[in-house]
Amino acid sequence: MQKKLHIKKGDTVTVITGNYRGQKGRVLEVIRKTNRAIVEGVNLIKKHTKPNAKNPQGGIVEQEASIHISNLMLVDPKTGERTRIGRRTDETTGKLVRYSKKSGEEIK
């Protein structure tokens, strides 16, 4: 059984440590098996590709590589600052929802 992660696809996150510290971006993919995420515009690598249908020219393509979840922190939708995440049950639906510990606002 895998642990529930604090980051989901589509969230806006900021990098808290490493070479890309301070950069913000949108999460494109979460890889739960390895606890990593691919963030738009962060951890760019150059990949050498052969010509194919998608890229008929081939050559060197720049793309995002995964970054460990522990190096990411969610950005509060209300304040725009980074925040910790909590979980609580919603009064109306009874479902578990994520909320910002800084502002107390629910995160969609």
Cα gap 75→81, rounded to integer Å: 5
pLDDT at 30: 95
pLDDT, tens digit only, all 108 positions of the chain = 677 888 999 999 999 999 999 999 999 999 999 999 999 999 999 999 999 998 899 999 999 999 999 999 999 988 889 999 999 998 888 899 999 998 888 888
CATH of domain 1-75: 2.30.30.30
pTM for this model (two decimals): 0.81
Strand residues in the chain grouped as ranges (E): 12-15, 24-31, 36-39, 44-49, 59-64, 66-68, 72-74, 85-89, 96-100, 106-107
Residues in contact with 74: Cβ distance below 8 Å, sequence separation at least 6, in sequence order: 6, 7, 11, 12, 13, 82, 83, 84, 85, 100, 107
